[in-house]
A and B are shown apart, each in its own frame.
Chain A
C-alpha cells in the first residue's frame, strides 16, 4: 500500500516559540542562551542569527561577536516542551501514529490509509499547518513523502519555510540531484569517503551497484545504497508506544568541572527516572550514564543493579558509579544523560535476606510516600538534598 508520511518541522523551534509568545522579538536576530552562566553556549537561534554565523552549541561570547545586534533570551525548556505537546496533540487528531523526538519541533505523522476518513494527505498537511499556526503562532514546514527519510530530506531542502511533496516512485529522482549531506543518516565520515571518489550527490552514489559501494564504504554500504534511493521502511512509532528504556537528561548552564554539581545532577535524574519507573510499575537492571564533554566527545558507562530496582537512591548510587568511570578524561562536562535499561516487572519474591542498605520494605514505602506527596503538591514540594545545586546544599 502507498505510504503517506507527513513531516512537520518548526525551524529554529525554541526561537520560533519565543517569538510567538512575544511578537516584539520579530524582525531582529534572536539568540537563546543562558547569559548568566559563566561559560554559556548557544541553545538555539533564529534564522537571521544563523545567517550571521551563530550555531547551536557555540560559546555565547563568540555568538555575540558574530551577531552583536542579536537579542538574547534564556532558554525555557518547559515552554518548548509545552509547545511540543500542543504540536503533538494537534497531530494526534489526524493519526494515532505520531512520532516525536525531543522538544525540537520535529514530528512525523503516518497518514497512510486515512484518505477515506480525512481526505487526501496533502489536505491533512495543510490543515495541520493552519491549526499549528492558529494554536502556537508559528508556521511549520510540512513535507509529504512515502517514508520518513525522504520526508525529512525534503524538509531540509525547503528550510526555513515552505512545503514539499514527493510522490511514491519519485523518491530516487527527487534525491538524485541533492548534495549527499541533505540525505538523513549520511554522516561526516561517509561524506569524506565518498568525496574522495568525487561522489557528492545522492544520484551519483545511487548509480553505483551495491557491490561497488561495498568496496568503498564496507559495512555502511547497505544503508547508503538504500538511503540514496529514498528507501526507508522504518515505521512511524505510534504515540504512547512505550520506549524500550526510561531516560532523562540534563545540560549544565555552561560547563563544569565540579564533582558536586555532577553528583547533584545525577541525583535529580535518578529521581526522575525512579519516579517514572514506579509509575509504570517497572524496575531496571542497569543504569546507563552518558557524559557530554565540553569538547564534544561523549563517554558512556553502565552500572548493574542487583536486584532490579526502582529506588531513587539505589539508582543514584549506581549512576554515580557509572559516572565516575565515565569521567576518565580531563575534560569539563557540558551535560549528561541517564537511562534505565533492562526494564522488568519487580521480582515477585522479596529477598529473604536483603543486604544492608538495600531497599527493603521500608524504602519501598518511603518511595511510595514521596510519589504521593509529589503528585499532590507538585514536583518541587519534596526534594532530596543531594539533588540541590551545590551552592544551596
Chain B
C-alpha cells in the first residue's frame, strides 16, 4: 500500500512534519515506499532522500502542482524516470517563472513524458486525456462517491482511479500547529482563521489500516494507487558534479586557453624570468585541473573576477597558483607556503569552490552580469529561512493578537533561547519558573512557538551563491524568481552541493569599497595603485599600527577581540597576522592562551614527533583547517579524502553521528602508529576546537592582505581612510565609534552641510566632513538631489534651497537638527530657520491661481517671531538624534560633572591602575554575547569616553544581574577590577548602573540624558 498526497513542512506555512519525521513515521507505520509531493516545490528533496536511505524506505519523488489562477491543487506529478525528473523540474519552474501563463491542462502534456500524473478535477482530467496524457484521477475521500464528477469523468475516459489522501501532518495533535502556520500565512488571528483556510484534523499520514478504512467504500482505489506507482523506478536525481564549461569551448580547448592565460599571468606576477618553483607548481596544477576537467570553470571565474578592478579571492581557492596568476586571488601561494591540495586533489569527489569578494556596492551588478551572461543556465542559490526562536515567538504572539509593544516587553524578560535571531538555536527548553508565571496567553504562545522553531518559513537569497549549468538550468533543478526578478534555485547551498551543482560564491565586502574610495580620494597620491604591486605589509609604521591593535576600521582585525589579541601578541608582520586571524576562531579559547604563551617564548614540546614538521610554523598548535586533515593523515593514516571528510564534518551542523565514526577510526589508526591514549585524546580534543567555523590558511592569507592595505591607509592617510570607512556605512561598529576614533586620531569632524558637503563622507588632511547621507531619516535620493542641484548653481539662501530640492517637512527637520542648514541661515538660529521653512511650505505654490484671501496679510506667516533661547544641551541632543553621534565632541564630555561626582576614572588612566578596583563611566559601543563552557551567558563589552576605549568583561553572574541596563544607549557607571593580560588592559565588571546625575544645584534640563 502507498499513501499518496503526503506533504512535508516544505509545503510552506501549511505542512508541519520534516521529511525525516515523515520517513520515520512511515517506516514505523509499515509503509515500504513514500511519495513526497510538496506543493509546487522540491525544496525538501535532499533531506527526503537522505531520510529514506536512513529508514530503508523507497522514495518516490513528486510534487503537487497547483493552478496559479485558482490556487487549488490541480494534479500530483510523480517522477518515474530521469526524463520524468527533468520534466518535473521544468513544470515546477514554469509554474513559478510564468505563473500568469501557466495552465496545467496545457503545460502538463508538454512535459508529461516520464511522469505519473494524477488529476484532481474532472475538467483537467478530460483535457489531459484529450491531449493524450494517460492521467489518472486523484480520488480523495471527499470525492469517493461514484457520482462525483471526477469519478464520472474517469469512467467515461477509462482513466485509472487512485486513492489520494492529503496529509500535511503526523498526529491529530499537530493540527493546532498547522492552524498556527495557516494563521501566520494568512496574517489572521488564530481565533478568527476562516475554516476554508486550513485543513481538517484528519489530513495526516494515516496508518495503513485507517487509510484502508477511509477508502473502505471502494478499496480498489488503493490498489490502483499502488499499481500506478509500482513501476516508478526513479530514486532521486544522480547528476554527478555539474561544472559549467566555457560557452563554445570543448574541455581540451579550455585547458589550452587556461595554460596560455596562466603563463601570461605568471609573467605579470613574477616578471619575464619565471622562478623554477613557479613553473613546477604551475605544471602540476594545470595537469591536475585539466585531468579533472575544471579548466572551463577556472576561466569562467576569471571572467567574473575581471568585472571589477578590486576583488579578493577567498577560501581555499587562494592556494592555487593558477588562480593567483589569473588574478582571481592576490596572495602568492609560493611565498606564503599555501598547499594546493587543500583546494584540489585527485581523491576529491565533491566540487571545488572558488569564492570571490567584491566591493559590497558592486556585488549586485556583478551577479546580474553573471546571470545575464549565462542566461537560462544560471541561478542564485536559495536560503531556506527557518523559524528561529525569536521569529517563531513574534509570529505566534501576533497570531494570538498581542501588540508589538507587549511582545517587545515580554521578550526582553524571556530566557536567552528566545532572543536567538540567527545562528544555531539550542534545544528548546522546558518551562522555567519565570516563563510559567507569565500572564495568559503567554504560556500558550511559548508552547506553540517552541513547536514552530526549526520549520522553514520562506525562501530567501543566499548572499552570493550562484550556480551555472552546462544546459538549461531547469533540466537540473526547479527554479523560481526572486522579488528582483532573478532566477532562484529551489535548494539552499547544502541541497545544491548534494545535487553536485558547483556553487560560485560572489560575496559583498565593505572593506574593498573602503580601500577603493580612500585610494580614489587620494588620487595622484594613492599608494599601491596597482593591486598586484605595492607591499603595505612591508611598511614599518603599518606594522606598528597592527602590533598595537590600533586597527579600528581595518578589515577583519577591528573587533575588540582581535584588537586585544594583537595587543597581547605585539606582532605586526604578515605571517603572524595570518596565524592570528585563524586562531581566533570561536572554540579555540584555551589554545589561544597557550599560543600567546609560546609566542612570547614559553617552552613547548610537539604533541607527537610526527606532528613536529607539520605544525612548526604555528608553535605546535593546530591553527588552520588543513592542519586537522594533515594531522589525521600523519597520525592515524587517514587517506587525504578521508581526512578532508573529517575537516568538513567539523563545520557541519548535525555532525554527532558522523563524528563518532571518525573518532573511532582516528583512535584506532593513531594507536596502531604507537600513540598513547593520552596523546590521542589531546590531539582529538584540539581537533574538536575546530567546531563551528574555522579558516584555512589560504583564506586567512587573502584576508590579511586586505587588512594590511587598510592598516596602511589608516596609518598614512587617516582622514581619507576614516571618510571611506564612514562613507561605506562602517563595519563592525556603529558610525559613533568611528567618529570617536577619528577625533582620537586628531581629525576635526565637521557636520554635514548642504552648501559644502557631499553625499558621502569626505576627508583630507586633518579634517573629516560628514556626508549628507549620514543624516538619518532622509529618503535615499535626497542627498544626491541636493548635490546635483548645488552643482547647477549654489543655493542663494534657505528658501532657494527648499524650492529647488523639495525635501519633506521631516527631512528639513532632520537636516536642521544635524546642522546641515546652518550654512544657509545667515547667522539665524535653527528655530528661526525652521520657521522660515515652515512658512515657505504653507505658502501657496508659485503656479497656483493668484486669488488672495480677503483678509490675509500679504506675506503669509509674517515676520519671524522671537523664540525662547536655545539651550546648548538641547541642541546637542537633537544633533545626536539626527546623526547618531556628535561632531565636535564626545557625548561623555557633557557628563564630566556627573563622572567626577561618581569618582569615575578616564579610560587612559586605567592602564596605570592594574590590579586595582576602579569606577569608570563610559558610553556603550558594542557588545558581544558568548556562552561559558557550562552554557551560561556572559558578555564582552566595549565602552568609550573622550579619552579612549575600555574593554570590559561581564561574567555570568553580573551579566545576569545587569543585562537589562544594556538595552539603551546612555552612559553607564562601571565598577570593577582592572586586569592586565600580556599587556592588554581590561576591566572585569562587578557592578553596573546608569550614571547618576551630579548632586550639584539641580538646574532644570541640566541633567537630561542624550538618547538615541
**Residues A199 and B868 in contact, CB atoms below 8 Å apart:** yes
B433 within 8 A of A: no
Segment among B399-407, B472-480, B523-531, B586-594 that sits at the interface with chain A: B399-407
- Give chain A residues whose Cβ lies under 8 Å from the Cβ of B838: 215-216
Contact with B along A200-222 (1 / 0, CB 8 A): 10001001110110111010000
16 A-B pairs besides A207-B866, A212-B862 with CB distance below 8 A are: A38-B441, A59-B406, A196-B831, A198-B831, A198-B867, A199-B867, A204-B868, A211-B861, A214-B842, A215-B839, A257-B400, A293-B403, A295-B406, A330-B399, A331-B401, A333-B401
Bound Cα distance from A294 to B842, whole angstroms = 37
A252 located at the interface, meaning its Cβ lies under 8 Å from any Cβ of chain B in the complex: no
Contacts of B888 in A (CB 8 A): none
- B-side contacts of A198, CB under 8 Å: 831, 867-871, 874
Q: Does B977 contact A (CB under 8 A)?
A: no
A189 to chain B minimum Cβ distance, whole angstroms, is 13
Closest 4 CB pairs of A and B: A295-B403, A332-B401, A38-B440, A257-B401
B187 at interface (Cβ–Cβ under 8 A)?
yes
Check A259–B861 contact: CB distance below 8 A: no
Please report which residues of chain B, range 812-851, place their CB below 8 angstroms from some CB of chain A when the two chains form the complex.
Answer: 813, 831, 834-835, 838-839, 842
A353 at interface, CB cutoff 8 A: no
- Check if B865 is an interface residue, CB within 8 A of chain A: yes
Residues of A close to B191: CB separation below 8 A: 257-259
A73 CA to B443 CA in the complex, in Å? 26
- Shortest distance between the CB of A208 and any CB in chain B (Å): 5
Of B439, B869, B870, the residue contacting A38 (CB under 8 A) is B439
Do the beta carbons of A295 and B405 come within 8 Å of each other? yes
- Measured in the bound complex, the distance between the Cα atoms of B862 and A255 in whole Å is 51
Which residues of chain B (846-881) have a CB below 8 Å from chain A? 857, 860-871, 874
19 contacts between A and B (CB under 8 A): A38-B440, A38-B441, A59-B406, A196-B813, A196-B831, A197-B834, A198-B869, A199-B868, A200-B868, A207-B866, A211-B857, A212-B861, A212-B865, A215-B839, A254-B439, A295-B403, A327-B192, A330-B398, A333-B401
Give chain A nearest CB distance to B73 CB in angstroms: 27
Give the dominant DSSP class at B's interface.
loop
- Point out the residues of chain B lying under 8 angstroms from A272, CB to CB: none
- What's the nearest-Cβ distance from chain B to residue A98, in Å? 38
Q: In the complex, which residues of chain B have a beta carbon less than 8 angstroms from the beta carbon of A167?
A: none
By a CB distance below 8 angstroms, the chain A residues around B192 are 257, 259, 327
Q: Are B865 and A208 in contact (CB under 8 A)?
A: yes
Contact of A39 among B440, B864, B870 (CB under 8 A): B440
Q: Judge if A369 is at the interface, Cβ distance under 8 Å.
A: no
Which size bracket describes the interface of A in this complex?
20 to 34
How far is A197 from B440 in the complex, measured between Cα atoms in Å? 45
B862 & A211 in contact (Cβ 8 Å cutoff): yes
Chain A residue numbers with a CB within 8 Å of B406 are 59, 294-295
A255 and B191 alpha carbons, distance in the complex (Å): 13
Which of B397-421 touch A at CB < 8 Å?
398-406
Q: How far is the CB of B828 from chain A (nearest CB, A)?
A: 13
Question: In this complex, what residue of B is CB-closest to A334?
Answer: B403
Q: How far is the CA of A389 from the CA of B439 in the complex (A)?
A: 21
Give, as a whole number of angstroms, the nearest-CB distance from A384 to chain B: 23
Could you tell me the distance in whole angstroms from the C-beta of A267 to the nearest C-beta in chain B? 18
Q: State whether the Cβ of B190 lies closer than 8 Å to any Cβ in chain A.
A: yes
* B residues less than 8 Å from A209 (CB atoms): 862, 865
Please give, as numbers and ranges, the residues of chain A lying within 8 Å of B401 by CB-CB distance. Answer: 255, 257, 294, 330-333
Known interface pairs A208-B865, A259-B192; A331-B835 also in contact (CB < 8 Å)? no
B439 to A61, Cβ gap below 8 A? yes
The interface size bin for chain B is: 35 or more
A298 vs chain B, min Cβ distance (A): 13
Cβ contact within 8 Å between A207 and B439: no
A294 touches B402 (CB 8 A): yes
Shortest CB distance A161–B (Å): 26
Residues of A within 8 A of B405 (CB): 295-296
Contacts of B860 in A (CB 8 A): 211, 215
Separation in Å of the A226 CB from the closest CB of chain B? Answer: 18
B residues in contact with A212, CB < 8 Å:
835, 861-865
Considering the complex, give the chain B residue whose CB is closest to the CB of A261.
Answer: B191
The answer to whether B251 has its CB under 8 Å from any CB of chain A is no
Contacts of A59 in B (CB 8 A): 406, 439
How far is B835's CA from A260's CA once the two chains are assembled, in angstroms? 53
Neighbouring B residues of A204 by C-beta, 8 Å? 867-868
Decide if B188 is an interface residue (CB 8 Å cutoff). Answer: yes
The interface centre, meaning the residue of A38, A215, A257, A259 with most chain B CB atoms within 10 A of its CB, is A215
Residues 411-439 of chain B: 1 if any A CB is under 8 Å from the residue's CB, otherwise 0? 00000000000000000000000000001
| Cα–Cα, bound, A207→B867 (Å) | 9
Interface string of A176-212 (1 = CB under 8 A from B): 0000000000000000000011111000100111011
In the complex, which residue of chain A has the Cβ closest to the Cβ of B831?
A: A197
List residues of A (293-307) whose CB comes within 8 Å of B's CBs: 293-296
CB pair A332–B400 under 8 Å, yes or no, is: yes
Chain A residues contacting B834 (CB-CB under 8 Å) are 196-197
Which residues does chain A contribute within 8 Å of B966, judged by CB atoms?
A: none
Q: Is B189 an interface residue (CB 8 A)?
A: yes
Give residues 243-280 of A contacting B (CB, 8 Å).
254-255, 257-259
Report the Cα distance A16→B868, complex, angstroms.
41
B399 — which chain A residues lie within 8 A by C-beta?
Answer: 330
Chain A hits for B861, CB < 8 A:
211-212, 214-215
- The smallest C-beta distance from A205 to any residue of chain B, in angstroms, reads 10
For B868, what are the chain A residues with a Cβ–Cβ distance below 8 Å? 198-200, 204
Chain B residue nearest to A193 (CB atoms) is B838
Nearest residue, chain A, Cβ from B841: A215
Proximity bits, A321-346, B CB within 8 Å = 1, else 0: 00000010011110000000000000
In the bound complex, what is the Cα–Cα distance between A216 and B187 (angstroms)? 40
Find the A residue at minimum CB distance from B437.
Answer: A61
Q: Given the complex, which residues of B lie within 8 Å of A214, measured CB to CB?
A: 842, 861
A331 to B400, CA, bound (A): 7
Residue from B189, B831, B857 in contact with A330 in the complex, judged by beta carbons closer than 8 Å: B189
Instruction: Please report which residues of chain A, range 315-372, place their CB below 8 angstroms from some CB of chain B when the two chains form the complex.
Output: 327, 330-333
Q: For B842, what are the chain A residues with a Cβ–Cβ distance below 8 Å? A: 214-215, 218
B882 nearest CB across to chain A (Å): 12
Q: Identify which of B398, B400, B867, B871 contacts A197 (C-beta below 8 A).
A: B867
Chain B residues within an 8 Å CB radius of A38: 439-441
Residues of chain B lying within 8 A (CB to CB) of residue A255: 401
Provide the bound-state CA to CA distance between A294 and B441, in Å: 13
- Of chain B, the residue at the smallest CB distance from A209 is B862
**A216 and B835: CB pair below 8 A?**
yes
Q: Which residues of B contact A218 (CB under 8 A)?
A: 842
A208 to B813, CA, bound (A): 21
Nearest Cβ on chain A to B949's Cβ, whole angstroms? 34
Q: Which residues from chain B contact A199 at a C-beta distance below 8 Å?
A: 867-868
Please, how many angstroms separate the alpha-carbon atoms of A294 and B402 in the complex? 7
Please name all residues of chain B whose beta carbon is closer than 8 Å to the beta carbon of A331 when the two chains form the complex: 401-403
Most buried by B among A39, A216, A293: A216
The minimal Cβ–Cβ distance linking B802 to chain A, given in whole angstroms, is 14
A331 to chain B, nearest CB (A): 5
The complex places the Cα of A331 from the Cα of B404 at a distance, in Å, of: 9
Of A212, A214, A330, most buried by chain B (CB within 10 Å of CB) is A330
Q: How far is the CB of B20 from chain A (nearest CB, A)?
A: 32
Q: Please, which residue of chain A has its CB at the minimum distance from the CB of B438?
A: A61
Question: Which residues of A45-59 are within 8 A (CB) of B?
Answer: 59
User: Cα distance A198–B868 when bound, in Å?
Assistant: 6
Q: How far is the CA of A212 from the CA of B831 in the complex (A)?
A: 12
Q: Are B187 and A330 in contact (CB under 8 A)?
A: yes
Q: How far is the CB of A195 from chain B (nearest CB, A)?
A: 9
Query: Shortest Cβ distance from A72 into chain B, in angstroms?
Result: 15
User: Which chain A residue has the least Cβ–Cβ distance from B837?
Assistant: A215
> Which residue of chain B has its CB nearest to the CB of A218?
B842
Bound CA–CA A327/B192 (angstroms): 10
Q: How far is the CA of A254 from the CA of B870 in the complex (A)?
A: 46
